[in-house]
Structure 1
Amino acid sequence: MTWISKSTSALGLLLFTHACYSAHEHSALQAHRAASLSSLTTSHGGVGVISSLPLDIAIETIVATFVITFGLVLGTAKLRPIQWRVWAGQIEREGEEGFKNSSGEVDRDYVGNPFKLLESRPGFVDIRRQRQEFAEWVKGQ
C-alpha cells in the first residue's frame, strides 16, 4: 500500500470511529431521555417518544464507508490476466520488471517462466523401443 492509500484508509477509519461514537452517544442520550420521560409520563399516562438516528450521523457513516473502501482499492495490486496463457506470455515478455509492487520489490507470487517445467521435462518414454534395445543387448552377451 502506498502512503496515499494508507492515509485515505486511516482518514476513513477516523470518520467511521467518530460516526460510531456519535451513534452511541445519541442512543445513550435517547435512553436517558426516555427514562426521564417515562418517569414523568407514568404519572400522567403519556407515551414515550422513540427517535431514529440523526441524518448527519447516517451520512457520516456512509461517507466513512466509501472513504475506507476507496483507500483499500487504491492500495490493491494491479490485476493479473485471467487466462493462464496470457499471464505466462506477460511473464515471458516482461520478466521480473512486470511484477514489481509499488515499493519496487518483486511480488512473492512471481515464479518465473511457468513453462520452464514443461520445457525441461524429459520426452515421452518409448517402452517398446527400450524393450527391443534390452533384448538386443541380452542377445549380444
Structure 2
Amino acid sequence: MTWISKTVTFTGLVLLAHACYSAVEHTTLQTTLSTTTVSPTHPSTSPASLPLDISLETLFSILTITFGFALGTSPLRPIQWRVWAGLIEREGEEAFTNADGEVSRDYVGNPFKMLETRPGFVDIRRQRKEFAEWVKHGRDKQLELL
C-alpha cells in the first residue's frame, strides 16, 4: 500500500474508533439517565437509538476505510490469456511490480517459453524413408559380410 492509502485508511480507523467511543458514551449516558428518571413501576423497555451524527460518522468512517483499501490494491490483471501473455512479453517484470517495488509472486516469466523451446514436429514420412534406406543399406552390408 502506498502512503496515501495508508493515511486514508488510518484516518478512517481513527474516525471509526471515535464513533465507537461516542456510541458507548451515549449508551452509557442514556442508561444512567434512564435508571434515575424512570420509576420502578414503569421500566423503560425501548432501546435508546444513537444520534444521527454518530451514525453518520460511523458510515463515513467505514466508507473512508474502504476507499483507503481500494487505493492500496494493485491493478487488476487481464482475464484473457493472450492479453496477459502479451503484457508479460512487452513489459516483463515491470508490469508485475507492486507499489513497494517487489515483483508479484504470480509472475512466472514468458508463458510461451515452453512452446518456443520444444522440439519441432516429427516428420513421419522422412523418418520412414530414412529407416527404409538404413534397412536397405544394412542388408547390403550383411550380404557383403557373408
Structure 2: any 5+ residue segments left out of the alignment? none
Deviation at 1:101, TM superposition (A): 1.9
Q: Quick check: which has more Rg, 1 or 2?
A: 2
User: Within 1, Cα distance between the matches of 2:23 and 2:121?
Assistant: 70
When residues 125 and 32 of structure 1 are mapped into structure 2, their CA distance, relative to the original with a 3 A threshold, is: farther
Matched, 1:12 2:12: yes
1:104-115 mapped onto 2 (5 Å cutoff): 104-115=101-112
SS in 1 for 2:76: coil
Structure 1: any 5+ residue segments left out of the alignment? none
Deviations, residues 10-36 of structure 1 (Å, cap 9, x unaligned): 010011111111111212222222222
Aligned to 1:102: 99
Matched, 1:88 2:85: yes
The percentage of counterpart residues that share the same residue type is: 58
Matched, 1:24 2:24: yes
Q: Is the 8 A contact 2:8 2:67 kept in 1?
A: yes
1:116-131 mapped onto 2 (5 Å cutoff): 116-123=113-120
When residues 95 and 32 of structure 1 are mapped into structure 2, their CA distance, relative to the original with a 3 A threshold, is: same
Kindly tell me the number of residue pairs found equivalent between the two proteins.
135
Q: Is the 8 A contact 2:27 2:48 kept in 1?
A: no
When residues 125 and 25 of structure 1 are mapped into structure 2, their CA distance, relative to the original with a 3 A threshold, is: farther
- After TM superposition, the score normalised by the length of structure 2 is 0.76
- Please tell me the residue identity of whatever aligns with 2:9: S
Superposition RMSD on alpha carbons, in Å? 2.8
User: Within 2, Cα distance between the matches of 1:24 and 1:122?
Assistant: 71
